[in-house]
Structure 1
Amino acid sequence: MQVRPVDERDASGEQDGAVFRVFLWSQPPVPAGVNPARIGWSNSVYELTGCDVHEAIEWASCHTPAVGLYTLYVCYVDTDGRMFMIRLAGTDPTRGDEWSG
């Protein structure tokens, strides 16, 4: 983690009412003798509104399959109308970086 002081006036604006996306990941049972890394993942994706990040994390944690993971993103729409997702928490098992927030 890196921490530095900033000037709060450098932001162009702020927005209430975030839109979150939650990916719930599951993996089928791994046959004996098979490396789990060779088994694919499937996901279900949900959009959460009317909540804050703590509620979104709680929802994702409660709805993650017993043998599964979740990834939580906040959605951001740029001035051209393109939607981007910024990862806030969880793990995306299809990425090689193994980051966990």
Structure 2
Amino acid sequence: MAIKARDRIRAKLKEGQTTVRVLLAHPMHTGRGENEQGELIAAEFIQDIRCWRNDNEVLTIKCGTATARNPYFSFQLTGGAAGDKIMIRWVDNLGAKGVAETFLQ
């Protein structure tokens, strides 16, 4: 099961710091919202986000229902070199998964 919208990722190296920016396409339903008929919309939210630089896991983020729709994350990593592969993987509470990757510029 996967979300059809596309996740976006960018990574830049500047002054020895890698800055990663990620926009994840996900509805992030809390389970408390209602549709037009007044029925509850089932909870659907990202639980786990992981980031790798080349083959090394460098970051883990745990999310919950308080995270906004289409969440945006920006973070810095120490070091890096041009051409490094930066990859993000996420999993939601229903088992949907997403992957976004880029190469460091």
Alignment TM-score, normalising by the size of structure 2:
0.26
- Structure in which a larger fraction of residues adopt helix: 1
Identify which of structures 1 and 2 has the higher relative contact order when contacts are C-alpha pairs closer than 8 Å and 6+ apart: 2
